[in-house]
Homo-oligomer: A and B are copies of this chain.
């Protein structure tokens, strides 16, 4: 497979920090790969990078040292203190691979920023002699941007990028462009625009970038896409599916912003509707409850019609550290997008829809169907890599 780098946008955030701790803890044999899908038997034959060999880097607009961030997470009770201390040197070493992210309004034109961000990723690749770099956006969710001609037309965009007074692209899309230009793969783990803007996506297709997204499916939506198909399969009619989400932490504060939350809520119900039908009544709220910290609690109430008009209700309460759910999936995406590259794939890797609330180029939201597609992808990609290597061997 070669050497693989994980470049996080939001590298000092909870998810990226947790993923970095995990890479090192697993690498040192201090923790097993619990929560990593790619550690399962279905992937035993796939030539994936060893988790402990993944090289960590990234952009962030914050500057708190990664090790301090990790210690904050330990103090909050989320990560065991002894684990953080055991990988403290690794995190200090990762620190050297972190670079300042892009912030609008500081006088840097987006064109200049794009060059800078692209160079950061390229030099990360070269310095660490990486065969694959996967850029994963785990930064704070942005509001959906207003539509703009620059989002559709490469020439308009080029003009605007050069103009220091213009911020044509949301930061997530600038990051996606940097990934593309640096020859990396890209995964959008948030509902932000990212690679979804037409002009960015067109560039990715043109450059043969492997990409996947968007918005990681970690908790409540995961449950919904597992339970929804059960009701349908059993012939029951889901009438309503109401949800309440409580969370604190940075994510809670971000999502308390009504604009940012709108894109999140939309992607959360899209899958549900595609499974149980558009007629479902599905009110959904996300509340910022700072005292809960990074523990997310989601309550769902499902009302289904059963035989002879009878009432069936199901309530679920899911409670977990949100970053602990996301981090192993970030590692999975790094391994799988590197695998896709190695197997010669390009463009949207729709079989990775398994990981997302709003899968790119896929209408399949049912969890088990997604899982089957993912397993088929792994098998095919493994075969593809072996074929490529066989050819390479002949040629050599």
Interface residues of chain A, those whose CB is within 8 Å of chain B, are: 18, 21-22, 25, 31, 33-37, 39-40, 77-81, 83, 222-223, 226-227, 229-230, 232-237, 239-240, 242, 244, 246, 281, 283, 285, 287-292, 297, 299, 301, 303, 305-321, 324-325, 327-328, 367-368, 371
Contacts and interface: CB of A to CB of B under 8 A. Distances in A.
A34 B292 CA distance: 18
A9 to B, nearest CB: 20
Contacts of A236: 34-35
Given A40-B233, A240-B291, A283-B289, A318 B310 contact: no
Copies in the complex: 4
Contact of A235 (B77, B309, B328): B328
Contacts of A313: 297, 317-320
Contact of A289 (B78, B303, B311, B315): B303
Contact of A305 (B34, B306, B367): B34
Q: Tell me the interface secondary structure of chain A in the complex.
A: mixed
Closest 3 CB pairs of A and B: A35-B307, A239-B291, A368-B368
Contacts of A31: 308-309
B285 A244 contact: yes
Nearest to A82: B75
A234 B22 CA distance: 16
Contact of A320 (B35, B83, B235, B306): B306
A306 B222 contact: no
A291 B303 contact: yes
19 contacts: A18-B308, A34-B236, A35-B236, A40-B235, A79-B310, A230-B367, A240-B289, A240-B291, A242-B246, A297-B301, A297-B313, A306-B328, A307-B327, A310-B321, A311-B320, A312-B320, A313-B318, A314-B316, A317-B317
Given A307-B325, A310-B320, 20 more contacts: A22-B308, A31-B308, A34-B237, A34-B309, A35-B234, A79-B310, A80-B308, A80-B309, A222-B234, A223-B227, A242-B244, A291-B305, A299-B315, A308-B327, A310-B324, A311-B320, A312-B320, A314-B316, A315-B315, A315-B316
